[in-house]
Chain A
Amino acid sequence: MKDFMTGNHAVANAVKLCRTPFIAAYPITPQTAIYEKLSEWEASGLLKGIMMRTESEHSAMAACIAASLTGVRTFTATSSQGLALMHEMLHFAAGCRAPVVMANVNRLLAAPWGFWADQLDSLSQRDTGWIQFYCENGQEALDTVIQAYRIAEQVYLPVMISLEAFFVSHFMEVVDLPEQEQVDRFLPPIDLPHKFDIDKPGFLVPVVSSELYRKYKHIAQGSMDSVKKVAVTMDQEFEKEFGRGYGIVEVVMLEDAEIVLVTAGSITSTTRMVVKDLRKQGHKIGLLKIRLFRPFPVEAARDALRGKTRVAIIDRNISLGSGGIFCQELRAALIHSPDHPLTYSYIAGVGGTDVTPEVIQKIAFDALSRKEPMDAPIWIME
């Protein structure tokens, strides 16, 4: 059923379709609409379950972890400052192997204050052990939430779905809402393992020895690695049921490309247009979209860029002292690639500045004009 709604409402609808009975969240611009919609539905009974309106995001994540371990499906949503506030509990969730699903609306981190789109908030949590997806538009965000529950409940790792502030969260688009029966078929309501057994009581999250901690992390790494395959399988199953598939990376017009633009998030939509236009003008240009960020799709990215000579990565974030984070990760993925493409890091859109087709064109031509490799990121300040 097609409807016209913002990215935030698309996410809220996905949570309702997944019949998530437990939500614990705290409002923060630009996520508030998700919180408000879910709150309204829970209060009216349209969303069956309990919504805890906690006093902070830190508490929200703790409540989600606890409820998840008790055995119910959970959800929370936040952004920048809230995500940073719950940082400790993000590690805790991944360590507990709790299959919590969270929507993060990418917003810049203070100081100074602002509400605009910037991917640094979720990227700076990349070491916490959460699976991370970056969504291009509201439809993808909705679909990814549904897929996320299947993935999380299979590998027992928490999943974070990121959508950019205002560009995706508040932008109204036509969204295809799946029918409840379709979602029930793909994602049946599930009783997660009850970790609290009154009759045979155990101690959750004890102090462990160094060797045992290492063993847990080793096992978790194995699960995280398996997500590269699991995510692809779930996406294919999703496509069969709903008619839409995304993959963990997406390639556009890559066959004979002399320059590949690598993007994630809403910048991808703009870049698709630019690639089409430049191709019409005769330029050999292609696009690689990164959708799954953790675990980083090393093999898929390497395969996609095989034989390519020039790659320009556009980052809507900056890790001060190092560079764009997608670029860092991609460079690490390509290090064993026999082709050694020239990779250029472009910083565009930090702080929510607009990345227009002109900016992307400028990036493409700038990368094409360079002969020498360049470590430092190139800032596009339009």
Chain B
Amino acid sequence: MEAYPSGRNGGDWPEAKHTIPFSQINTLYFDHSKRIDMRKLGRNKALKGFSEINLGLTSDEATRSSSRCFSCGTCNYCYNCYFFCPEGAISLDPLHRTKYVDLDHCKGCGTCAKACPRNVVEMRDVP
């Protein structure tokens, strides 16, 4: 039995075709962080007129907030699968957005699938 990350033999694998729920995210690779809420205008000031209540995010807050994104289901070239493969069968090229699995040497252990924080890797039976 062989298995390979979802996609054709040795080619670019398409993004996951179904949504990845939170339960399938490998949260080991993410730090706990609280959602950053937008600062709001004080109650007294808000009642005085029609000014916008949501004050927006600072540049720093925006960066921090967006970095909390899991990128679930979409490969962002974090290289986790590359590091964890015992065979060294995976290679990635972020510049050309390609991912390649050497199927002659992949032993189907599934470590890459478990280690992928965003559940992009899919194991499949190959006859």
Do A and B have CB atoms closer than 8 angstroms in the complex? Answer: no
